[in-house]
Amino acid sequence: MTAPALLESRGLTVRFGGLLALNALDIDVRHGEVLGLIGPNGSGKTTFLNVISGVYSASAGSIRLDGADITTASAQHLSASGLARTFQRSRLCLPLSVFDNIVLGAQKRLNSGLWHNLIQRKALAAEVRAIAAEARELLYVFNPTLADKLYDPAISLGMIDRRRVEICRALIGKPKLVLLDEPSAGMTHDETDQVVDEILGIRKSLGGLTIIIVEHEMGLIERVTDRCVVLNYGKKICEGKFRDVASDPVVREAYLGQS
Ligand SMILES: Nc1ncnc2c1ncn2[C@@H]1O[C@H](COP(=O)(O)OP(=O)(O)O)[C@@H](O)[C@H]1O
Ligand SMILES: [Mg+2]
């Protein structure tokens, strides 16, 4: 018997008016794996991440996370259940400090309610200090000089450090599943390789972190994924090890159809 998957979608469908963006998707993400979600432009990759993270709602079908039905769960509930993500377009609040941006990812730890936080101000301050210490540690693993910029505005950072901050924000809540949407966006090949290697290094030290990565840089997908699912027009057309899906004629044809 195989262990149940960490994330399971069954018949997952998303419609935008007449457009079937996701068409009856059955996708399993196993505990501890790095799953590559690939496919031509517009094939539904970001939509899949959006529907499982509660940004879009499913038109039909179901999603389970660690055995619990999360099909209609809110984004807040999902984040508290251990799901975190980064976005294809950067979502940092640039005038705010690195710390302020990262703390947004730790909301569930600070959100004991206004009344509690007003009365238990010592406890709140201690929790904020603990998060700052953890944020500094995480940033240090990515880039030691970044740890010293905890209270600098995010706008003062270069692209690669901004991406690191976004990833730290996803990791600070100690998620089980992290969704990475096109980590290469806005960065060079070398920068992308570097950041992804850093994520994998941190993953090792955290133990058991499961990742879904959407990426068009196939070299990266080949290097870092355990398994891939290929989408085309919202349908799953293939899944398996990268080298097998990459040589599949149906997959090759889907990619040839795009400019
Ligand atoms: N909010 C939306 N409203 C209408 N159509 C959308 C929306 N989001 C995505 N789509 C459409 O759904 C399809 C899949 O898009 P997307 O998931 O962004 O593709 P990918 O990430 O694979 O490039 C595309 O045809 C896109 O135009
Ligand atoms: Mg996309």
pLDDT tens-place string over residues 160-211? 999 999 999 999 988 999 999 999 888 999 999 999 898 888 888 877 799 9
Cα separation, 257 vs 259, whole angstroms: 7
Q: Do 256 and 183 belong together in one domain?
A: yes
Atom of ligand 1 nearest to the CA of 56: 1
pTM: 0.91
CA distances from 182 to 15, 35, 88, 115, 186 (A): 23, 13, 5, 40, 9
Atom of ligand 1 nearest to the CA of 48: 17
Q: Tokens at residue 181, please?
A: 């949407």
pLDDT at 252: 94
Residue with tokens 């400090």, as numbered in its chain: 97
When divided into structural domains, the chain yields a total of 2
Q: Do 6 and 73 belong together in one domain?
A: yes
Q: Do 77 and 204 belong together in one domain?
A: yes
CA of 46 to the centre of ligand 1 (A): 7
Q: Do 182 and 256 belong together in one domain?
A: yes
Q: Do 184 and 168 belong together in one domain?
A: no
Residue with tokens 């976005």, as numbered in its chain: 87
Is residue 118, in this structure, part of any structural domain at all?
yes
Q: Do 98 and 115 belong together in one domain?
A: yes
Is residue 32, in this structure, part of any structural domain at all?
yes
Q: Do 200 and 254 belong together in one domain?
A: yes
**Ligand at shortest distance from the CA of 43:** 1
Cα separation, 211 vs 31, whole angstroms: 9
Residue type, 220: L
CATH number of the domain enclosing 253: 3.40.50.300
**Ligand at shortest distance from the CA of 21:** 1
Q: Which of 47, 88, 43, 42 is nearest to 185 (CA)?
A: 88
Cβ of 41 less than 6 Å from ligand 1? yes
Is residue 242, in this structure, part of any structural domain at all?
yes
**Ligand at shortest distance from the CA of 40:** 1
Is residue 87, in this structure, part of any structural domain at all?
no
CA of 215 to the centre of ligand 1 (A): 15
CA nearest ligand 1 atom 7, residue: 16
Q: Do 70 and 6 belong together in one domain?
A: yes
pLDDT tens-place string over residues 67-78? 999 999 998 899
User: Last residue of some domain: 140, 173, 206?
Assistant: 173
CA of 13 to the centre of ligand 1 (A): 13
Looking at 158-188, list the stretches that DSSP marks H as alpha helix, in order from N- to C-terminal side.
Answer: 159-171
CA of 38 to the centre of ligand 2 (A): 10
Q: Do 179 and 257 belong together in one domain?
A: yes
CA of 45 to the centre of ligand 1 (A): 8
pLDDT at 218: 93
Low-confidence ranges of the chain (pLDDT < 50): 259
Is residue 258, in this structure, part of any structural domain at all?
yes
Q: Do 133 and 180 belong together in one domain?
A: no
Q: Do 2 and 67 belong together in one domain?
A: yes
Q: Do 160 and 179 belong together in one domain?
A: no
Range of the domain at 123: 92-173
